[in-house]
Structure 1
Amino acid sequence: MKHSSTFSTATQRRLGRRSFLRGAGGLGAAGGIAALAGCGSASAAEEISFWHLLSGPDGVTMGELLADYMTTEGAGDVTQTVLGWGAPYYTKLAMASAGGRAPDIAVMHSARVPGYAPGGLLDAWDLDLLGEFGVHKEDFPELIWDKMEVEGQLLNIALDSHPFVLYYNTDIADEAGVLDSDGLLLPTETPEDFRDLALELSGAAPSGYGLSFGWLGDGMNQWRMFYTYYTQMGGTMELPEGGTMQYQEEIAIDAIEWILSLIDGEAGNPSHDGGTAISEFATGGSGAFFGGVWEIGSYRDEGVPFDMTMVPGVFGPPTAYADSHSFVLPFQSSPDPERRRAVHAMVAYILKNSLAWADAGHIPAYAPVVEDPAYQSLEPQSHYADAIDHLVYDPPAWFTGSGSDFSTYFGNTMQNVWARRTDPLEGWNAFVARIDDLLAKPSPM
């Protein structure tokens, strides 16, 4: 998931004397070196250094949450360092941890954590200390908690989950006759049902397409769609280091062929990239859109009449491909106990006040917030909140997770399959071979 890098000046003014933002909008090469060299130099226990990759609306929301936290009794000052999204961020964070210049706290995607854990780049959270601030294991859905623990250690605290979902234009859906009496998309229980619904949307959509899905040149989106349906069909995947990819070939090919049937020029546009798919739906051209929950803000700003739902479970129980923004403790050889305590307090505060985080579409990981009537009244957010019981993350490996090259490899080998220039099995086997090559190499961490 990519974010823009603009912080509102109003938010910056609100932070006042605390000099809250440092390096907003990312760091260039020289800035990155300076940040690595200077990080961790705080002398007072209450000064917390915080690295993250959140900018745009997410960055503004995080800034507001932290500004509110710093007004509470006993809170320390928090200094943000905002770095560019993707591989550069994770590289700099690893270098800082390995070089003993780590920040007190950072944000990672949960699916990236297993790749960092074996290298000792992360410290464990203190569940007893979190409990003092009112945060407990039972406050998190089981699937999210499972991603927070790695080899028995609590290595990340999830702030949210951000699943792959289905948006739909309520005006087009109403004209197509595919809304129920509550104005929600009619349920579909079989592949035939869903394809029929897509064709009904196509008939009512100005573009002539019921579905918008951006795959062209977008390996991440290709992987999200594939893994959603592959796991929904019952497929599993394991990536053992030093071994070979473990998977079900028949299910993989069935998932690929199903996706091809949705981008066939009848149900959906056969040649969208990410931007054109978003634009088609945003301008009211198509009936539905496959994408991440973070697009909710742009569609709302465009005035699109839309609602959202989980990707329907037409092959079995629904699945929701997802990742989570999570808080981690980068390794420090001699962590300051008081500062560590302050970090635990800060995270507990953010979790308990994460209703604001839901505004951008993310589902808060802290279950009491999702169960609160205030969240249940949010639309369309509450309409896909059940995704927390059906989350599917990348299979653990040192090269998987958001911002990794894993999905790039998938896109490189599968692009011609979606374009109907390569046989599905040929494209899939090329992907498997590429991943087997990586599994034969030791983790660089």
Structure 2
Amino acid sequence: MRKSVKRFGTLFLMLNISALVLAGCGGGNNGGNSNTAASGNSNTTANANSNAQANEQPAEAKGEPTEFLFWTPFSGADGAFMKKIVENYNAAQDQYKIKFVIQPNGEYYKQLDVALSTGKERPDLMIMHVDQIPTYVSKGQLQPLDDIASKAGINKTDYVDAPVQYSTIENKWYGIPLDIHPLVMYYNKDLFEKAGITAPPTNRAEFDADVEKLTDKSKGQYGYVVPTLWPQQFIFPTLVWQNGGELWNGSDVSYNSPEAVEMVQWMRGMVDKGISPGNVQQDGENTLFLQGKNAIQFNGPWMKSQFDEAGLNYGIAPVPQIGKAKQAVFAGSHNFAIPKDVTDANVLAGIGDFLKYVASNSLDWAKSGQALAAKPMLESADFKALPQSSIADSFSYVQFAPNVLNWGKISDPIWGELSSALLGKKDPQKALDDAAAKSKQAMKK
């Protein structure tokens, strides 16, 4: 059912925005590298001023800058990188001013739901994961961005195709992508060198051979530590797709297929062979990677800053094709979205100007470990010089969560059942059958 949102008067809205910013503004809880430069491009200020002039609104041109509120869930180390981009934009022009607020990641969508449904203290611009966009569109809480993008000189062709297509619903564009964050492979270069491995594996045969060489039980060193919890939300779908399976068959869940079961058996098999320890707790694989006792880890681009701070000698590469059918990788994507009831022309012009700025001035976000979705940044020499630039090699075969309303709730039973299978507490087929049954029940609610 579509929810109508009551629009409050401008003065009341601005008072609420000011109160929220004073209460919530601040950096990420892990600090991050806040002293990095935005892009190193001396044309940043000129570009921003040019964009602002293109979207100039006479009613505001001679007065105070138009302010708008921007929400993000970047409460980790990545928050400092986005904060830097906003600060650079605010300093580069004087027509618009962004009030930047970081909401706790774990509570982000709960807080967003309240703000959007009540209209109280709601953002004018927000970050939204691409797989959330269909649900919020169905609730009537997002506005199409086609007109805003057109006025700002933003084109769909300026971005990687996958997130643009996903967020285009009934020929209307609802999310402008900031990044794509696929599952990637991190590997310990020192351990690889000692094992005589000269390049990261690209397929199952190479991976299986390499993790055998990298395992040294006498030193408590493992070739690949199998996580039993997070980030299986990225690993399991990747393996299922690579092996020719699907999570959703068009009308029902299908992650208890033979293709999916085979991949769970493969992961558990590494525990049985001693390549991975058993009973790995949350973040156990990462702890061992930081200690130099886990040679390979599958995780997201957001881990880069943590490994940099730890001084690890590591490499980044696309996830090998473990499955038998095709190369594929699960990915997420942070997108810019605008609530439906943001109607002030000056605010919308300011948002468009900022999004145009980000498309060519977001190297700071790449330095957080992310691979950018804007083609001008992907093609820049500065981005190509970053170690994670190889992540973009996987953009042609990334896949997002099934475009199904409330997919998060539907798929939630997977993770507890998968953990039971990986811990050896349940047969893989039984675990995935139980997960599918629970998901079917969730769809009826």
Of residues 424, 431, 436, the one that matches 2:435 is 431
Amino acid at match of 2:165: D
Of residues 386, 389, 399, the one that matches 1:382 is 389
Amino acid at match of 1:432: A
Q: Shift of the alpha carbon at 1:20?
A: 6.8
Query: 2:105 is paired with a residue of what secondary structure?
Result: coil
Identical amino acids, percent of aligned pairs = 25
Structure 1 residues 114-135: Cα deviation after superposition (integer angstroms, max 9, x where no partner): 1111110111113x54244443
Mapped partners of 2:349, 2:423: distance in 1: 53
Of residues 232, 237, 246, the one that matches 1:222 is 232
Partners of 1:283 and 1:304 within 8 A in 2: no
Structural mapping, 1:224-263, within 5 Å: 224-238=234-248, 244-246=252-254, 249-263=257-271
Mapped partners of 1:44, 1:152: distance in 2: 37
Mapped partners of 1:261, 1:372: distance in 2: 42
Of residues 147, 155, 160, the one that matches 2:179 is 160
Structural mapping, 1:266-277, within 5 Å: 266-277=274-285
For the structure 1 residues 419 and 170, does the alpha-carbon distance in structure 2 shift closer, same or farther, using more than 3 Å as the test? same
Structure 1 residues 71-127: Cα deviation after superposition (integer angstroms, max 9, x where no partner): 2335411112221113x321221222222333211111111111111110111113x
Amino acid at match of 1:57: A
Structural mapping, 1:196-207, within 5 Å: 196-203=209-216, 206-207=219-220
2:366 is the counterpart of 1:353: no
Query: 1:210 is paired with a residue of what secondary structure?
Result: strand
> 2:335 — aligned with what?
326
Amino acid at match of 1:398: L
Partners of 1:100 and 1:331 within 8 A in 2: no
2:189 is the counterpart of 1:170: yes
2:409 is the counterpart of 1:399: no
Structural mapping, 1:46-85, within 5 Å: 46-85=66-105
Partners of 2:244 and 2:326 within 8 A in 1: no
Of residues 149, 169, 178, the one that matches 2:168 is 149
Q: Shift of the alpha carbon at 1:24?
A: 3.6
Partners of 2:412 and 2:439 within 8 A in 1: no
Q: Shift of the alpha carbon at 1:208?
A: 2.8
Partners of 2:129 and 2:334 within 8 A in 1: yes
Q: Shift of the alpha carbon at 1:405?
A: 4.7
Amino acid at match of 1:294: W
2:127 is the counterpart of 1:107: yes
Mapped partners of 1:282, 1:72: distance in 2: 39
TM-score, length-normalised on structure 2? 0.81
Mapped partners of 1:415, 1:325: distance in 2: 27
Q: Shift of the alpha carbon at 1:177?
A: 1.3
Partners of 2:21 and 2:101 within 8 A in 1: no
Mapped partners of 1:208, 1:81: distance in 2: 42
Q: Shift of the alpha carbon at 1:64?
A: 0.9
Partners of 2:134 and 2:167 within 8 A in 1: no
> 2:414 — aligned with what?
410
> 1:279 — aligned with what?
287
Mapped partners of 1:337, 1:207: distance in 2: 61
> 1:38 — aligned with what?
none
> 1:294 — aligned with what?
302
What RMSD, in angstroms, separates the aligned Cα atoms of the two structures? Answer: 2.6
Amino acid at match of 1:214: P
2:205 is the counterpart of 1:192: yes
Mapped partners of 1:342, 1:370: distance in 2: 24
Of residues 186, 196, 213, the one that matches 2:226 is 213
Mapped partners of 2:232, 2:298: distance in 1: 11
Amino acid at match of 1:436: K
Of residues 117, 120, 141, the one that matches 2:137 is 117
For the structure 1 residues 169 and 234, does the alpha-carbon distance in structure 2 shift closer, same or farther, using more than 3 Å as the test? same
5+ residue gaps, structure 2, are: 1-17, 28-62
TM-score, length-normalised on structure 1? 0.81
Mapped partners of 2:416, 2:21: distance in 1: 41
Mapped partners of 2:76, 2:233: distance in 1: 25
Mapped partners of 2:155, 2:374: distance in 1: 9
Mapped partners of 2:99, 2:414: distance in 1: 37
Q: Shift of the alpha carbon at 1:205?
A: 9.2
> 2:15 — aligned with what?
none
Mapped partners of 2:249, 2:348: distance in 1: 34
Structure 1 residues 266-290: Cα deviation after superposition (integer angstroms, max 9, x where no partner): 2222222232211111111121112
Q: Shift of the alpha carbon at 1:263?
A: 3.3
Query: 2:338 is paired with a residue of what secondary structure?
Result: strand
For the structure 1 residues 343 and 239, does the alpha-carbon distance in structure 2 shift closer, same or farther, using more than 3 Å as the test? farther
